[in-house]
Amino acid sequence: MRSCVFNRIVVGLSLVELLIFGGTLLYRDPFFHYHGPIDDDYCIDGKYERYYNDGFLKYFDYDAIILGTSMCNNFRTSTVQNLFDVDSAIKVNASGAYFNETNGYLQMAFGYNNSIELIIRSIDLDYLTCEKDEESMYAQEAYYLRDSNVWNDVNYVLNKKVMLEIFNPSMTDWDEYSSWNQVPVGRDIVLKGSEPYPATAPLQSKIDDEIYQTISGNISQNIVDIMKENSDTEFYLFFTPYSICAWGDWLYAGEVEIQIQAQKIAIEQILQCDNAHLFSLCNNFSMVCDLDNYIDKRHYVGKINEEILYCMYRGDYEITLENYQEYLDEIETFYIEYPYSSL
């Protein structure tokens, strides 16, 4: 009898604890799964980008989105608002996201919000040759927050990360959200663990019909279609300006020609859209060769993100139907002839 009463007490206390925690979660809702911020002192933590994205898109007020991978993390929303005369910009980033995942966020955004004036989006050079439906190894993280299945919300309610955010929130603002500016940079950091580049490079591979169709399908489905469907929104896109070392790796893998031809395919499709503005700082050679701008072979520091925004505002380094072949010829010559063994 006593054992039965004790068991009931334990079960009852457990249910009370669960109700208290569940109520606290529903009220605080740290990843904005059920509602938007309850006041202006909400917390956002860049460690959990994919946990936030659905809530940002569904519940926040915005007319501009900075969208992409870690290549967009250091953008400042205040700079976007000042330069492009928009009221409220948000970041919807997902590190390592292939184009298919990023396009999914855009589809969600336009489904929730019919007042989007501006999209700023990265086109990561590494992902040009992905299959159109291919996803990165990170894409399924917190996917249950983005699907329509309410039953798997138990993964949100009983989640250690959610608990930590409720009881140990980290304050930040939109400019600093997901930013990683305070990290070491420079040649020794970028080239750490790398072998010296040989004096001569192998022959460069060419794009065959199969690769062409893969790139074309990826660009069409995941970049061009959404711009055509939303012609009243201006899209500012940019090829990610990786460091000279990334191009060195491509050269010695025999892939520089493939990379340049992939850009060509992307350019010719993207510029079919009147609301598309395409930029590339890949031919800002002094910038990509200065390893003090990078924390590794691909990731650049925040001042480069600022420079990208100002280039967009001024129209510098914009790729057009009139100049794109000149741009491609310029980067092909530079990146094939660069003396990588001197790095």
Question: Within a domain: residue 37?
Answer: no
pLDDT tens, residue by residue, 305-314: 999 999 999 9
pLDDT score at 145: 75
Closest CA to 33 of 111, 146, 177: 146
Residues 118 and 120: their CA atoms lie apart, in Å, by 7
Question: Within a domain: residue 315?
Answer: yes
Q: How many CA atoms lie within 13 A of 227 on its CB side?
A: 24
Question: Within a domain: residue 303?
Answer: yes
Look at strands 118-123 and 64-68 and give their pairing: parallel
Q: Tell me the average pLDDT of the chain.
A: 88
For the chain, the domain total comes to: 1
Burial of 64: CB neighbours in 10 Å, binned 0-12, 13-18, 19+: buried
Task: Find all residues with CB under 8 Å of 263, minimum gap 6, and list them.
Answer: 125, 128, 239, 280, 328
pLDDT score at 197: 87
What is the token pair recorded at 164?
A: 């930590």
pLDDT score at 27: 62
The Cα diameter of the chain in Å comes to 88
Question: Within a domain: residue 118?
Answer: yes
**Could you tell me the pTM of the whole model?**
0.90
The Cα-based distances of 15 to 1, 11, 164 in angstroms read: 21, 6, 21
pLDDT score at 124: 97
Residue with tokens 């005369």: 85
Q: Identify the CATH number of the domain in which residue 92 sits.
A: 3.40.50.1110
What is the percentage of the chain residues whose pLDDT exceeds 70? 86
Walk across the sheet containing 64-68 and list its strands.
Answer: 89-93, 64-68, 118-123, 234-239, 276-280, 318-319
Question: Within a domain: residue 110?
Answer: yes
Question: Within a domain: residue 196?
Answer: yes
Q: Is the pLDDT of residue 22 over 60?
A: no
Residues 63 and 66: their CA atoms lie apart, in Å, by 11
pLDDT score at 25: 67
Question: Within a domain: residue 136?
Answer: no
Task: Find all residues with CB under 8 Å of 35, minimum gap 6, and list them.
Answer: 29, 59
Q: Residue 250 — φ and ψ, nearest 5°?
A: -65, -40
pLDDT score at 11: 47
Which alpha helices (DSSP H) does the chain contain, by range? 2-28, 49-59, 77-84, 99-112, 154-157, 160-167, 187-190, 209-219, 225-229, 244-252, 256-270, 285-288, 302-314, 324-337
Q: Residue 280: which domain range? A: 58-130+173-342
pLDDT tens, residue by residue, 33-73: 778 887 777 778 777 888 889 999 999 999 999 999 999 99
Question: Within a domain: residue 41?
Answer: no
DSSP 71-102: GGTT--HHHHHHHHT-S-EEEEE-TT--HHHH
Q: Is the pLDDT of residue 21 over 60?
A: no
